[in-house]
Amino acid sequence: MNEIVKTEAIVLSKLNYGDSSKIVSLYTNEFGKLSAIIKGGRNAKSKIGLVVDVLNHIQIILYKKDTREIQVISDASLLSPFLKIKDDFDKLKFAQAIIELLQKLTVEHEINHRLFRGVIRILALLNSSNEMPIILFGRFFIFFLEELGYAIQLDECSVCGKTNIYNKELSYNLEIGILCDECRHNHLESYVINPELFNYLNCLKFNKKIELTNVSVAEKSILFMEKYLMFHIPDFRGIQSLKIFK
């Protein structure tokens, strides 16, 4: 069926196509991830070609046909260009990491309004809040894992069920989960979760205020979540946009 539809979207990537067109990958609110063509999009005067650019939050009108792999964009307007992100190398690096996760790990046409809203919210915060980009990215990453169906469980020891595990040296075993200070001695350890990292992950997960005194705990938390995701999704080879700090 052919229909004309309207949706909000974030632009994930953009490529030249043929002599005059552009093909874009979009993460949309109404239809999940999809590919679309901007006919004449390579022309410098194409309004749609300018509006539909990587990282922009836009509203689009699509000629949509379910049997077609690539939809046609008939109009687009800009909701936010996130200019402060594009002007700041650190913000941009983490915004690219968000785009990369959406590009690599969301499934075409799988609709998730909560994830879409979460992406817009975190990009708006990266753009305008004073919180460190690495913390904002961590907040997004732990939420994204949950939306993918791989929430990290931090409430209780995965073996004995003990819940009071704060302020102790813990382990994480990728197959079993978090291990308390007693159970950790009887299982293989994939990761040491010291009290500082455990507390930080909890703050990310439950959206608590973070006063970061040592940036290495934020880096460790991202490496941990990345390894965790690589374990659950073997095709995923890590976040290329962040290789720079490894």
Task: Using CB under 5 A, list all residues that contact Zn ion.
Answer: 157, 159-160, 162, 180, 183
Phi, psi of 7 (to 5 degrees): -155, 155
List the structure tokens of 118: 């979460």
Phi, psi of 245 (to 5 degrees): -100, 15
Q: Which CB atom, from 34 or from 183, has the smaller least distance to Zn ion? A: 183
Q: Which CB atom, from 5 or from 160, has the smaller least distance to Zn ion? A: 160
The DSSP call for residue 166 is: T
Min dist. Cβ of residue 67 to Zn ion (A): 53
Q: Which CB atom, from 40 or from 177, has the smaller least distance to Zn ion? A: 177
Give the whole-angstrom CA distance, residue 29 versus residue 121: 13
Min dist. Cβ of residue 184 to Zn ion (A): 8
Question: For residues 72 and 4, is the Cβ–Cβ distance under 8 A?
Answer: no
Min dist. Cβ of residue 153 to Zn ion (A): 13
Q: Which CB atom, from 86 or from 162, has the smaller least distance to Zn ion? A: 162
Min dist. Cβ of residue 174 to Zn ion (A): 16
Does the CA dihedral 220-55-16-103 come out positive or negative?
positive
